[in-house]
Each structure stands twice: as C-alpha cells, then as structure tokens.
Amino acid sequence: MTGKFLFNKKMILLGMLPGLLLYFCFFVAPSIGTFIFSFTDITQVPGKAWSFIGLNNYKELIFLSNGRDFLEALEKTFVFSISTTIIQTAFSLFMAVILCRKFVNYRNLYRTVIFMPTILGVTVTAFCFQLFFSIDGPAQKLLNLFGASSGFFGDYQWAFPLVIFCQIWMSAGYEMVIFIAGLQNIPEDIYEASNIDGSNEWQTFWKITLPMLWPTVMVNLSLCIIGSLSAFQIILMTTGGTPQTRTLSMFVYQVAFGMGTLDPNAGKQGLAAAMQIILFTFILIITVGSRYLMNKVNGED
Amino acid sequence: MRKLTSRFLVYFSILIAMLIFIVPLCYVVFTAFKLPEEFLSNPLGLIFSPTIENFVNSWQKANFGFYILNSLIYVTAATVLSLICSLLIAFPIARNYVRFSSGLYFFMMIGVFLPDGTIPLFQILLKTKLFNTRLGYIIAMLSIGGVALMFFVSYLKGIPTDLDEAAITDGCGYFTYFFKIIIPLSKPAISSMAILTAIGIWNDIVKAIIFLSDEKLFPITKGLFVFSGQYSTNWTELTAGLIIVALPLVVLFLYLQRYIIDGLTAGSVKM
C-alpha cells in the first residue's frame, strides 16, 4: 500500500458504516443482550415493567420446580446432538466416498438427490414427513405388514428417534457436499501409488483417505455438533416440542415466544435467556474443545 | 471376484440411500396429483388419473399469489442489503485500506460464536415499533458478517490491486469504482452467497412467527398452515402447496448448482 495510490478514506469509512451499524445494532447488541436479559424477569408482554433479579433465573432452572423439565431437556439435547452427529457424519462420509468413485455412473444425480433437502428447507421437510408418518401413511402400512403399528410423532417412544431421523435426512446432504469437496482436494497419484502397492479398498480408506480428509472431518464434526445443539425448527414443525422431543433450544423458544406445545412458563423471556446462555456455554466449550483437538491433531502431522 | 463384490456393495448402498431420500418426496408428488377421494380410499395407490385440481385449489385457498409477493419483497430486500453491506466491509478489509482491518475482520466473524440474540432482538423491535412491520422482519433476516464476509474477503483478495491503482490515477471515485468495477468482477462470489441467503429467507417460518403477527405480512411458508386443521389435514392440497413453495428454489438450484456448491464449501474447507 503506497501512499500515492489511495482512495478517499472518508468514502471508504462511509461505505462501511451502514453494514457495521446494522451488524452491531441487530446482531452483536442482541447477542450481548441475551446475557443481560438472563438476569432479569422481562416478559413477552410489551410495555410490562421488568427488573434485575440477579441469579434467580439460573437458580430456578437448576433447583426449583421446573428444574426437572430443564434437566430432562438438557439430557434430550445431548442425546439428540450426539446421535445426530455420529450417524450423520458416518452416513455422509460413506456416501461421499462412494459417490466419488469413478465407476459409478450418474454420480451427480445421486449427489443432487441427497442434497435436495437442504434446498427444500425445514418447513417442506417437516410437512413431507408428517405425511409420510401420518396415521394411514406408507410408514404405517409398512409396519402393519409386520403386525405392528405406531403413532409416530405422537408416540411416546417413537417420536424422538423419528425427529432425529428427520434432522439427519435434512442436513446430511450439506455435510456430504463438504466431504466431497475435501475428497476432491486429495491428489490422485497417492491413490495410484497405494494401488500399485497392492492395498485393498478398506486399507486405502483407513490409511490414506481418512488421514488426508481429517481436517474436513473435524470441521464437519464441529459444524454438526453446533448445528444440532441449536437446531429446533424440525422439532417444532413435526411434534411441536412435546416433552418427549423437547431439546434445550426447543425449550428456549417455547418459553420465550410460547411456540409449539404450551409451557406454563411461556412468555418469561428472562428465564428463556438464562437457558440460552447455559446452552451457549455448552456450545462454547465444545467449539473451543474441538478447535484445540483439531490443532493438536494437525500439529502432530 | 473381490472387485465385483465391492461394486455390488457400492450400488446396493446407493440404492438404499436413494430409496430413503426419494420415497418420501415421491409420495408427496403422487399425493399432490391425486383427487381427494382417490387419496382417501387408497393413499398408497400408484395407478390413478392425475389431476391438477389440487394445485388450483391450493393456490386459491392458501392465497399463495399474495404471499409470494411478500416473500419476493423480503428475499430481495434482505439479500441485496446483506450482500452490499458485507461487500462494502469486505473490500477495505481485503485491501488493508483501513488501519484496523484485522481487528475489524475478527469483530465481523465473532457474531458466529456469540449466543443467539433472538429474544433481545424481539424486544428491540418492539421498542422501536418495528415489530410486525416489513422493515422489522427484513432486519431480522439480515445476515452481515460471518461466512459470507469470509468468502468475500478471500475472493476480493484475488482481484489484482493494479486495478485500484489505475482507477485512482484516472481520478475515479471510491463508490464509482466499487459499484462499476468491483461488483461486476465479483459476480460469481455474489451469486453463490445470494442464492444461499435467498434460500434461507424463502424457507423461513420461525422468525416470521416471532417477528410478525399480521396475516397480511407473512411470507409464503405461512400459506401451508391453512391446510392443517385441528382434527384433520387436507393432504392433497397441502402437498400441492409444498410443491408450489419448493418449486422456485428447486428450479433455481438445478440451474445454478455449481455456484451453490462453491458457496457452501468455500466457507468450511478453508476454515
């Protein structure tokens, strides 16, 4: 940057100003606001007086009456997040490896089909599965063949695994596309060398593909964990967040905005903010932890 | 022999995956083309006389013509505003034209790691009387910074600095240069991010429920809720509605697939 060639600095700053203001006022400030709100008893009702109540929201969540709901939601969050992450990552890695094989014709068609739910979005996906798992839908007919039946999203045992399935169905394509991009970065000659050395496909995958792909795997794992910890839209749209399927992020929106299944605490946004902060703490620990692990693994190579 | 077994396993896995992903979607398409009586008497039947009656009914009942207009306003306004703001911030960062550019980059990326701010945003919009207005919803759907900014910064770094110097020597102003030269040169990057942003806004329902209360202001996804009553759902018309909502994006995706994939992967592979 030589002193001679410069645009008018004021113009540059003027150009940045609207974006910075919008970003600060409607993104950064509300995020910080969530911390502040978690110490207040603010409600959804406009104009109602509110005050600071210290740590009461946190105490209420952990020790008081609805503490059991909260802990149950916390447990559901972890089950949801861990099972989604493991199954989704394994599935999308497997499909990515298969759909990069040269001998498979119409590879792009198959990739497009698996990626399609990302385009359809949560609303269409949720209605699609409500139909598929409706009382006289195809899934029910299939179960009837085996002499069984189920209430699916309304069922005590089935609802939660089904919601996890929907979440994976919806977001596996995105993860697969990232894996494919990572696989395409691996130089071809490495595979040729291992072929000449006579290693079979299983060995090639474990000894070459996976180590070379490791950075992408770590990125995908952390994206998937963070995404699934804060995913609630599919739950809201399929079951409405019944207690069997209520994860923490679902609970936050139920309490803050009275969405889905009615909760006695609906409208208490201070309480919801406190839940959000607890959820955020977990996300932060996992993000920092995975970064640390990632650097460690990369450093050893 | 071993090669044959492994090929068989590969094709078998693809078959299973295709079944899982195609069958639910096919069922939606089949239902949408069935007469209600036919669907009720035999929901799984594959042989039927296709009808477009559901699409006509669905369009009228859900008022899609009206909602699509809303959605188009939201998608255009929020996408254009987000991208122009991001680009105007990304360019000086990419060129180091401001002294604090690395700090600024950090500030613009930190939003990804901050807690969700929906609750305070709701209160801010209430206080500023922007709750339940088009402008308020557009603000809520903005995405400035984050992955888009990272993508733009790395793309803009690839545009040669000589161009800037030539423009300055010719006495070209900053904004003229930015809008006449930089924006046209960044078209591929802008297309990628524009489509991704647009998809997010078109498919949104949760933020619409939070930030809007007037029926007239809702985006297209709201129309789908007309068909599900308390006791029964009008599936034939609902599925027709699903196709109406999804079709524009699916067509757009098939045309611009490469840009979408580029945009999606750029953020995560380089991380």
Dump pLDDT digits (tens) for B251-262: 988 888 877 777
Q: For chain A, what are the domain ranges?
A: 66-300
Instruction: Please choose, from the candidates B209, B119, B74, the residue with its C-alpha nearest in 3D space to the C-alpha of residue A260.
Output: B209
Asked if the Cβ–Cβ distance from B144 to A27 is below 8 Å, we say yes
Whether residue A88 contacts residue A171, with contact meaning beta carbons closer than 8 Å, is answered with: yes
Of residues A15, A230, A284, nearest to B174 (C-beta): A15
Identify the CATH assignment for B63-229+242-269 out of 3.40.50.150, 3.40.50.300, 3.90.190.20, 1.10.3720.10.
1.10.3720.10
Instruction: Say which CATH topology domain A66-300 has.
Output: MetI-like fold (1.10.3720)
Measured between beta carbons, which residues in chain B are less than 8 angstroms from residue A44? 122
pTM above the 0.95 mark? Answer: no
Of residues A11, A23, A124, nearest to B108 (C-beta): A23
Ordered alpha helix ranges (H), A99-158: 107-132, 138-145
Asked if the Cβ–Cβ distance from B10 to A253 is below 8 Å, we say no
Dump pLDDT digits (tens) for B192-202: 888 889 999 99
Per-residue tens of pLDDT for chain A, all 301 residues = 445 568 888 999 999 999 999 999 999 999 999 999 999 999 988 888 888 988 888 888 887 755 678 888 999 999 999 999 999 999 999 999 999 988 888 888 999 999 999 999 999 999 999 999 988 788 888 888 888 888 888 888 889 999 999 999 999 999 999 899 889 888 888 888 887 877 777 888 888 889 889 888 988 888 898 889 989 999 999 998 888 899 999 999 999 998 888 888 888 999 999 999 999 999 889 888 877 877 777 665 4
pLDDT for res B212: 94
DSSP string, B77-97: HHHHHHHHHHHHHHHHHHHT-
Q: How many angstroms separate the CA atoms of A235 and A241, rounded?
A: 6
Asked if the Cβ–Cβ distance from B235 to A131 is below 8 Å, we say yes
Task: Please give the mean pLDDT across all residues of chain B.
Answer: 89
Q: How many angstroms separate the CA atoms of A199 and A180, rounded?
A: 22
Residue B55 DSSP SS3: helix
Q: How many angstroms separate the CA atoms of B259 and B195, rounded?
A: 8
Q: How many residues does chain B have?
A: 271
pLDDT for res A65: 59
Tokens 């910064």 belong to which residue? B153
Q: How many angstroms separate the CA atoms of B61 and B72, rounded?
A: 20
A36 touches chain B (CB under 8 A): yes
Asked if the Cβ–Cβ distance from A31 to B115 is below 8 Å, we say yes
Q: For chain B, what are the domain ranges?
A: 2-54, 63-229+242-269
Dump pLDDT digits (tens) for B78-115: 999 999 999 999 999 999 998 888 999 999 988 888 89
Rounded to the nearest 10°, the torsion over CA A191, A192, A193, A194 is 50
pLDDT for res A1: 46
Asked if the Cβ–Cβ distance from B174 to A129 is below 8 Å, we say no
Dump pLDDT digits (tens) for B109-154: 888 888 999 999 999 999 999 999 999 999 999 999 888 898 899 8
pLDDT for res A299: 61
Which class for B254: exposed (0-12), middle (13-18), buried (19 or more C-beta within 10 A)?
Answer: exposed
Percentage, residues of chain B above pLDDT 70:
97
Of residues B22, B210, B238, nearest to A257 (C-beta): B210
* Residue A52 φ/ψ, nearest 5 degrees: -75, 135
**Token digits of residue B225:** 């809720």
Q: How many angstroms separate the CA atoms of A100 and A84, rounded?
A: 24
Q: B178 CB contacts (<8 Å, ≥6 apart)?
A: A15, B87, B88, B91
Cβ burial A192-229 (10 Å sphere, 16+ → b, else e): eebeeeebebeebeeebbeebbebbbbbbbbbbbbbbb
Ordered alpha helix ranges (H), chain A: 9-23, 29-37, 56-63, 67-98, 107-132, 138-145, 159-184, 188-196, 201-204, 210-230, 233-238, 248-257, 269-300
Of residues B43, B117, B202, nearest to A30 (C-beta): B117
The band of B271, judged by pLDDT with boundaries at 50, 70 and 90, is: very low
The band of B55, judged by pLDDT with boundaries at 50, 70 and 90, is: very high
Residue B221 CA to its chain's centroid (Å): 13
Cβ burial A21-52 (10 Å sphere, 16+ → b, else e): ebbeebbbebbebbbebbbbbbbbeeeeeeee
ipTM above 0.90, yes or no: no
Instruction: Please choose, from the candidates A162, A159, A181, A164, the residue with its C-alpha nearest in 3D space to the C-alpha of residue A115.
Output: A181
**Residue A298 identity:** N
